[in-house]
Chain A
Amino acid sequence: MAFKFKGYGGKIIRVDLGREKTVSQPLSSDMAKKFLGGNGFVTKILWDEVKPGLDPFDPENRLIFAIGPLSGTGWPQAGRFEVGAKSPLTGIYGDASCCGHWASELKFAGYDAIVFQGRASKPVYLWVDDDKVELKDAKDVWGKTTSETEKILREQHGKDVQVASCGPAGENLVRFAGILHQRRAAARSGIGAVMGSKKLKAVAVHGSKDVALADPEGFYKFSREIIELYKRDKFIESRAKYGTPILVELMNEIARWPVKNFQTGYTPHAKEIGGERIREEYRIKDRASFGCWARCEKPLMVKQGPYRRIYAKQPEYESLSALGARNWIHNLDVIIYANELCDEYGMDTISTGGTISWAIECYEKGIITKEDTGGLILSWGNTETLIELINKIAKREGFGNLLAEGSLRASKKIGKGSEKYVMHVKGMEIAAQDGRAQKSMGLAHATSSRGADHLKAFPLLDEVVMNEYIVARYGREYLPEMANRLDIKHKPFEVKDGEELCALCDSLLLCKSAGTSLPLFTGAVYYPEMAKAVKLATGMNIDASGMRTIGERIVNLQRAFNIREGISRKDDTLPSRFTEEPAPEGPPKGHVVELEQLLDEYYKLRGWDKETGLIPRKKLEALDLKDVADSLEAMGKLPR
């Protein structure tokens, strides 16, 4: 049946790599209405097509690239694309998103998603040029780094082609390999390794079609109103000036900055690697993705020393933590180079740095020895070892082969109590937020559908006391506790609400850092605004509460996928370092994450079973997911 809404490309590409077949089929109007796009599509397709228990490296795993109805329209901050698969790092739902110019290009070519299945007999890449869709031999790019791959494919197909590729790490099945595009990364969940396992090197896209809208005049009038907000906004101004590294010193001052594998949350050295210093001494200019106003990417120059050269981007806040402070490294030149290496190999900096810092702590405690490391001496602050380990992980050489499995799997092989120092949830290394210093982040890590991650709930209203937004969004009765990052009151509500908002952002492919999760000072891009933009673009009549329901539906279907893989309350947990070891210094001194209390209330708000964390039929049916309830029931996975 033909697709009936505007705004979308209206088609998806299905690629069977094993049979070397590509087909383009109409997008389902029903799927668009229920899941919007992006991670909504990813979640729905994974639920429908990936059987429980499947090895993520099995050819039957799916790798899904998806965009949304606002992609390519020019709506501000809507330049992202989403990639999803069953994750080889966590064994559950996996996804990641990335900004740049790939998403808009796919829309110009007239598509909303590309779904890969099977495994190619030899390395291939997909070439999409409007209606032409071809699998091509990847012998010229296999083994190449991500920037080399983009360069070669752009020379071959034209300079206005947009390329997303996996690097050598993905080819080598490093379990936290990502997918890169113009130095931006869809990094988490190991989706790059799924791409490598399918012998798919890249997806190159060129498009030249109109993005037809339901009410173009109304849409662009409204988009201009929102752009006027962005132009005047203080948060956008700060993002534009510094990007995410501006958070380093600020988070260090509230002792939320992971140091030495989360042993503490504060270091006197943060100023050496913070955004203020990068801007003053390294930044060359700003770069931005399609239709972006925040332009947080900053090409840099290292002016002297062994790492002297121009770099395409600054390490993000997360990477400064994972590759820097977490390993007690405060040499900015080295972190910039290490970040560059991770991008070239195509590896998630958070998991790379997280895994290395776990290994250093185990070495410090005598659990890992020279015998395990093949002679390498691991120690805090050792810059040469950091670079060597990144190289070894990407190539799966020696000790790197063990670390390429991720910290949880590596600790299971090492044993000897090393498990205690793995800073993970569900197998995913924890991002740069010490939950003891911000309780909402602790809960967010525990409940995130892709394992430890801040971006699935992105609770920011308590990060630096945002009273005005709390009043505007929820009401005065939530103050003062919700704004207090050390008080657990209202935090489960903040996380639940954030998860729905973030799921919606990821289905519309909006940047969470600019206007939604992080509210604008001058105005709002919230449910009513998103509903209005979608209506003007697509003609779909979904109101603000309908948008919220879509967010909740996506969260619940991701949970259902994870339940089907065996996840329950016992997995919504945090390392004992966060729940038993009190924070040693700074404002959170003496605090732990009161996780069980937080979880009890979170499940209650979610309408999930408190004992098991399973979803009752009633909840699923209310979200129009009856078929999901039926199949969970058949597996005995509904709460009794």
Chain B
Amino acid sequence: MVVKKILYADPLECCGCRNCEIACSVAKEGIMNPHKSRIRVVREGPVIDMPIACRQCADPPCAKPCPTNALVKENDLVVLYEENCIGCGLCVEECPFGAIFIHPDKGTAIKCDQCGECLDFCPTGALKLVSTEAVAHEKRIDLAQTRVKVIEEWLLNSKDMAEK
């Protein structure tokens, strides 16, 4: 069975500090350069901060156009064979999330391999490496809780009506 995991953060919990970018760049490159990080934080408007990294797609669109088979789906990860990469950038074009990048010095692709180094550097705990099943489970509970509120309110109101 494939237990697919994704690097996941609620944009309302992410504070946009970019400590994950720092941790990634330092872990992979030994220095800080945001253009060498495999995770990138996007900040838009007054409330959205979103870390974006490879989602390890089951049927990865980035791998399809790769002329040298540098990107291969293995178990639950999209693995990048750097020695095969020629730096054509077709994968960058194809990734729907902008989650694969070109290394500014080497000119070849870089992407998240889910090493988990960044997780320990998230001050809010927003960033999680979780199974898609866990994410879905959380969503289902959220939905149920919203319903609870609505129904409780409805029940209370109808009780009030009865009393009147």
Contacts and interface: CB of A to CB of B under 8 A. Distances in A.
> Touch between A and B in complex, CB under 8 Å?
yes
Given A108-B33, A212-B31, A216-B30, A287 B18 contact: no
Secondary structure class of chain A's binding surface, majority of residues: loop
Contacts of A285: 12-13, 15, 47
A210 interface: yes
Interface in A184-225: 208-213, 216-217, 220
A288 interface: yes
A208 B26 CA distance: 15
A291 B47 contact: no
B54 to A, nearest CB: 19
Given A285-B47, A290-B18, A295 B31 contact: no
B32 interface: yes
A295 B12 contact: no
B22 interface: yes
A310 B124 contact: no
Interface string A257-299: 0000000000000000000000000001111111111010001
Contacts of A293: 17, 19, 123
B32 A74 contact: yes
A178 interface: no
Contact of A287 (B16, B30, B36): B16
Given A291-B17, A292-B17, A208 B33 contact: yes
A210 B31 CA distance: 7
A73 B19 CA distance: 11
B61 interface: no
B113 to A, nearest CB: 20
Interface string A329-352: 000000000000000000000000
A312 interface: yes
B22 A213 contact: no
B8 interface: no
A191 B19 CA distance: 30
A227 interface: yes
B22 A74 contact: yes
Interface residues of A, number: 37
Interface in B14-43: 15-19, 22-23, 25-26, 29-36, 42-43
A459 interface: no
> Which of B13, B18, B32, B121 has the largest number of chain A CB atoms within 10 A?
B32
Contacts of B22: 74, 291
Nearest to A107: B32
A101 interface: yes
A227 B121 contact: yes
Contact of A284 (B31, B34, B44, B47): B47
B104 interface: yes
B43 to A, nearest CB: 8
A213 B31 contact: yes
B31 A289 contact: no
B47 A210 contact: no
A41 interface: no
Contacts of A74: 19, 22-23, 25-26, 32
B46 to A, nearest CB: 4
Interface in B42-63: 42-44, 46-47, 49
Given A73-B32, A213-B31, A295 B15 contact: yes
A525 interface: no
Contacts of A104: 34
A138 interface: no
B15 A287 contact: yes
Interface string A294-333: 0100010000000000111100000000000000000000
Contacts of B18: 101, 290-291
> Which of B16, B23, B36, B47 has the largest number of chain A CB atoms within 10 A?
B16
Contacts of A217: 30
Contacts of B34: 104, 108, 208
A310 B12 CA distance: 13
Contacts of A288: 15-17, 123
Contacts of B46: 183, 299, 310-313
23 contacts: A72-B32, A101-B18, A159-B42, A208-B35, A208-B104, A231-B123, A240-B123, A284-B47, A285-B12, A285-B13, A285-B15, A287-B15, A287-B16, A288-B17, A289-B17, A290-B17, A292-B17, A292-B19, A293-B17, A293-B123, A295-B123, A310-B47, A312-B46
Interface of A: 72-74, 101, 104, 108, 159, 182-183, 208-213, 216-217, 220, 227, 231, 240, 284-293, 295, 299, 310-313
Interface of B: 12-13, 15-19, 22-23, 25-26, 29-36, 42-44, 46-47, 49, 104, 121, 123-124
Given A208-B104, A217-B30, 16 more contacts: A73-B32, A74-B32, A101-B18, A104-B34, A159-B44, A208-B35, A211-B32, A211-B33, A212-B31, A288-B16, A291-B22, A292-B123, A295-B123, A310-B47, A312-B46, A313-B46
